[in-house]
Structure 1
Amino acid sequence: MLLLGLLLLLSLLAGGRLLWGQWKLSCLHRPPLVPGFLHLRQPNLPMYLLGLAQKLGPIYRLRLGLQDVVVLNSKRTIEEAMVRKWVDFAGRPQIPSYKLVSRHNQDLSLGDYSLLWKAHKRLTRSALLLGVRSSMEPLVEQLTQEFCERMRARAGAPVAIQEEFSFLTCSIICYLTFGDKVKEDTLVHTFHDCVQDLMKTWDHWSVQILDIIPFLRFFPSPGLRRLKQAVENRDHIVEKQLRQHKESMVAGQWRDMMDYMLQGVQKPREEEGLGQLLEGHVHMSVVDLFIGGTETTSTTLSWAVAFLLHHPEFQQRLQEELDRELGPGAWGSRVPYKDRSRLPLLNATIAEVLRLRPVVPLALPHRTTRPSSIFGYDIPEGTVVIPNLQGAHLDETVWEQPHEFRPDRFLAPGASPSALAFGCGARVCLGEPLARLELFVVLARLLQAFTLLPPAGALPSLQPQPHGGVNLTVQPFQVRLQPRRGAPGLSKRQ
């Protein structure tokens, strides 16, 4: 009887707590709720969410499975939350797949907000901006030049350009992270295959459904088992590189980002009250660099090529700009990134591609760290918030003809607002400086050396993969790279 009474009491307490929570929520002025709970399975989810905003306004709630989330669909609402009230919205929900992939919450992209997270972010940013600053641009130039030479050997033949861009961006991250240890393509291929396998497994519906309905993880799941195997493979590869670096590292010197971060975590931080950064934080910084720095940049480059194939007039104008600035046939010449204003149309084209096709269109979900509000709506603590970056970029109240590819909109000073392709606030993408450098260098070199042509006139689709997971992925296509007149390696007949 005593046990039965205790069970009854616990049930009453749990029920009372639930009712109290529901009553408190009912007293708040919350955003409107969209009916239904299978929204995640909609094709081209960012555009579907934007369509809802046209009916309900730029901020509303919906249920993704059992999870109640708030969606922000305009530049104003996103900046209100992520910039002006960034502390309130800097958290990250701890859903099952995040916990598995983030290695005991030591990940930067997926880790929840804390003082130790801020120290981790500062260390990773320093590794990018200080640790390899002097070598970053020369390395990107060198690898891009080698890429163009490989493409020249396949001149005129159809090329699956997404795969080539993916390997190029992975090579850049490999060299920046591991330095001279990258002596051959074997390591690059290993990391490239690892990232591809991890992302493909993570984006599979059988894993996504566990994040929406967490209790399903207690049942057998082949998708979850494959994800665990992919994570173990990833960790094995990274741990091997950490071990080799520690064995050969010289105190006070660094050859690459891994050296820089390993020495950074050895510095005591107790006086800051932040706790101690560990080797596991370096491990996950490397993972973030590869996942965030490979597919995102290569996908943006692929979208740029796809748009230029559809708009050859802009391709011609870009090549005229390069020839005018560098001289026709000046294949050894380049515009340093610090002087990128010399190529305004190229900068505008990059901005327009990022506006139309932000690679992570819904960013990663945020979580409120305390009760807050957005434009008069109450947002309780612990609420999951999704910023629809692509929706904000297609807002007709902000952008003229938002669905049209119009790089000229960015040419006149103050003519167009800045886009949010890399996010904003505390969770802004740390790899933005490297990504922008790569986009500038690769597109400048590519257009300087080649004219981009569709094979047999077959233009690529400008619609993304309908269920592309986290990334806004371009549908597979091929391109012919026709060497421009006077390019090195061309015969007189060409």
Structure 2
Amino acid sequence: MLLLGLLLLTVLASAHLLWGQWKLRGLHLPPLVPGFLHLLQPNLPIYLLSLAQKLGPIYRLRLGLQDVVVLNSKRTIEEAMVKKWADFAGRPHIPSYKLVSRYSQDLSLGDYSQLWKAHKRLTRSALLLGMRSVEPLVEQLTQEFCERMRAQAGTPVAIQKEFSLLTCSVICCLTFGDQVKEDTLVHIFHDCVQDLMKTWDHWSIQILDIVPFLRFFPSPGLRRLQQAVQNRDRLVEQQLRRHKESMAAGRWRDLTDYMLQGLGEPRVQAGSGQLLEGHVHMSVVDLFIGGTETTSTTLSWAVAFLLHHPEVQKRLQEELDRELGPGAWSSPVPYKDRTRLPLLNATIAEVLRLRPVVPLGLPHRATRPSSIFGYDIPEGTVIIPNLQGAHLDETTWERPHEFWPDRFLAPGASPRALAFGCGARVCVGEPLARLELFVVLARLLRAFTLLPPPGALPSLQPQPRCGVNLAVQPFQVRLQPRGADAGGLGECQ
């Protein structure tokens, strides 16, 4: 019976592939890369960029039963996602996306629609409200972080986890309010996010996504993902219930209050549906998944690059001392005055260029027939924007593989990178992430000199098969307090 089922599925899959090829007859399609095991390549974004050197910046390759189009240059990505954004704002209908997004109530993974636009407006307005008070919060939590790091001064620290807990604390406070700032809740949500991302990135789920009929067979990986999603939903529902029981109309203690009260507003056109509590639920999930590991990983990459380039670190500290004064009591630079620290801004831009945390973005779907660079793109085609490949394109960037922050110091000398995406699907959390990167690195470099353990510089190569995020390989750093008051906590004040 099992063999008969496998045979039937094979026949159906072959028929599906042949039917798809027949429908594409007569179209001017991007060139097709032979083979179908591309996902097995280590460091996939760089592999895809190498294919572009042979085939051009846009081509097709086969992932399982589906052809996808890969964009490998800034020009092709911006033509699709900015110039023709309405044609490519959809999300593909991937099995794991449906499970993780509670059947498209998610903002990041949900398909494009009028209801999705209303969901985005609600989440963005909540974040804009939160941004009014977020800078003092990030400053306070970063100061506490510096104090914890000073207690471990001189000893090697696995700083990735420390950054991850710091960014999770920021999201916890923004989303659930000051009253839940205790470490217990932060660690619970941090562990939940880690478990969900690790399970979701497992090869068994990736295989299921590219060969969907495998869901009809027993899958331990799928069961683990279902359990991780159930645990996530239970934790979020507890917080939503707590908010609804104590919420006062017209008063917003945090982002969750604001979004729950926004559900009743006429935010969508007639007939397009109504925002539900499930949409708030998934906005909270997006804030944790999109606002914890992405920012902490970028901070980790920044530290790794500065350990390899102590001359840049020294210049950054000189800039900070010049603007803030070398003493212990100077005030931090307000984020609105960040132009006072051009090298710090340039360093952040260079880290985001070389190591965009989501190097292949999230896949898009053509919502109607269109074209990119003269090639026909049929409706339903999955589009993968190779953001890291675009950032290493030699036709756009001078010395693209070098860590060279100075490329961003001359006005107009280098284009803006695409680390947060572009167009309708640009990351709504970009302003918060940029503020955190600025505040944390400014305080960290003012308080400490970053040193590697003896003979142990971190690798600048990402983990070879790391799923959605471009994860840095584990490393340690020694934090040497700076200044005459190095024995106290003055540098963190």
TM-score between both structures, scaled by the size of structure 2? 0.95
Taking a change above 3 Å as real, the CA distance of residues 59 and 486 of structure 1, as seen in their structure-2 partners, is: same
* Residue 79 (structure 1) shift: 0.1
Q: Are residues 200 and 58 of structure 1, via their aligned partners in 2, closer, same or farther at CA, if it must alter by over 3 Å?
A: same
Q: Does structure 1 residue 264 correspond to structure 2 residue 262?
A: yes
1:237 pairs with 232, 235, 238, which one?
A: 235
Distance 1:375 1:192, change over 3 A: same
- What is residue 94 of structure 2 aligned with on the other side? 95
Give SS of 2:454's match. Answer: helix
Task: Tell me the equivalent position of 1:170.
Answer: 168
Deviations 1:211-242 (A, max 9, x none): 01111111111100000000000000000000
Write the deviation string for residues 123-167 of structure 1: whole angstroms up to 9, x where unpaired.
00000012x122111100000000000000000010000000000
| Partner of residue 39, structure 1 | 38
Task: For 2:481 and 2:135, locate their aligned partners in 1 and report how far apart those are by CA, in whole Å.
Answer: 24
Q: How does 1:302-313 map to 2 (within 5 A)?
A: 302-313=300-311
Task: Write out per-residue CA displacement over residues 387-427 of structure 1, whole angstroms, 9 at most, x where no aligned residue.
Answer: 00000000001101100000000000010000000000000
Structure 1, unpaired ranges of 5+: 1-10
- The letter of the residue matching 1:377 is Y
Secondary structure of 1:452's partner?
A: strand
Q: In the alignment, which of 132, 136, 139 is matched to residue 137 of structure 2?
A: 139
Shift of 1:456: 1.1
| Match in the other structure for 1:66 | 65
Give the secondary structure class of the aligned counterpart of 2:305: helix
Residue correspondence of structure 1 range 114-193 to structure 2 within 5 A: 114-130=113-129, 132-193=130-191
How many residues are aligned here?
A: 478
1:196-235 matches, within 5 Å, as 196-235=194-233
CA contact (8 A) 1:449 1:487 kept: no
Alignment identity in percent?
A: 85
1:11-56 superposed Cα distances (whole Å, 9 cap, x missing partner):
9xx97x9877644412000000000001011000000000000000
Point out the more displaced range, 273-282 or 448-457.
Answer: 273-282
1:82 and 2:78 matched = no
Aligned residues of 2:240 and 2:281 also touching (Cα < 8 A): yes
Going from structure 1 to structure 2, the CA distance change for 1:312 and 1:381 (only over 3 Å counts) comes to: same
Q: Matched residues in 2 for 1:237 and 1:169: separation?
A: 18
1:477 paired to 2:475: yes
SS of 2:177's equivalent? Answer: helix
Secondary structure of the corresponding residue to residue 26 of structure 1: coil
Q: Residue in 2 aligned with 1:410?
A: 408
Give 1:383-394 correspondences, 5 Å limit: 383-394=381-392
The corresponding residue for 1:420 is: 418
CA contact (8 A) 1:331 1:488 kept: no
Q: Which amino acid in the other structure matches residue 74 of structure 1?
A: S
Shift of 1:332: 4.4
Which whole-Å CA distance do the structure 2 matches of 1:270 and 1:416 have between them?
Answer: 39
**Structure 2 residue aligned with 1:286, among 279, 284, 294?**
284
332, 336, 339: which is aligned to 2:337? 339
Matches within 5 A, 1:399-478: 399-478=397-476
What is the distance in 2 between the residues matched to 1:164 and 1:440?
Answer: 17
RMSD (CA atoms): 1.7
Query: For residues 485 and 158 of structure 1, what CA distance do their matches in structure 2 show?
Result: 20
One-letter amino acid of the counterpart of residue 85, structure 1: K
The letter for the 2-side match of 1:36 is G
Asked whether the 8 Å contact 1:36–1:63 carries over to 2, the reply is: yes
Shift of the alpha carbon at 1:333?
Answer: 1.6
Give how far 1:330 is off: 3.5
Give the alignment of 1:102-117 within 5 angstroms. Answer: 102-117=101-116
The 1:215–1:447 alpha-carbon spacing in structure 2 relative to 1, beyond 3 Å, is: same
Q: 1:184 Cα deviation (Å)?
A: 1.1
Q: Which residue of 2 aligns with 1:5?
A: none
Aligned AA for 1:471?
A: N
How far did 1:331 drift?
4.6
Over residues 407-466 of structure 1, what are the superposed CA-to-partner deviations in whole Å (9 max), with x where a residue is unaligned?
000000010000000000000001000000000000000000000000113100000000
TM-score w.r.t. length of structure 1:
0.94
Amino acid at match of 1:174: C
Structure 2 unaligned regions, length at least 5: 1-10
SS of aligned partner of 1:455: coil
Separation in 2, partners of 1:170, 1:183: 10
Q: Which AA in structure 1 matches 2:471?
A: T
Trace 1:316-355 onto structure 2 (pairs within 5 A): 316-355=314-353
- Cα distance between partner residues in 2 of 1:389 and 1:82: 12
Q: Give the distance between the partners of 2:17 and 2:450, measured in 1 at CA.
A: 61
Letter in 2 for 1:449: A
**Counterparts of 1:330 and 1:409, CA distance in 2:** 32
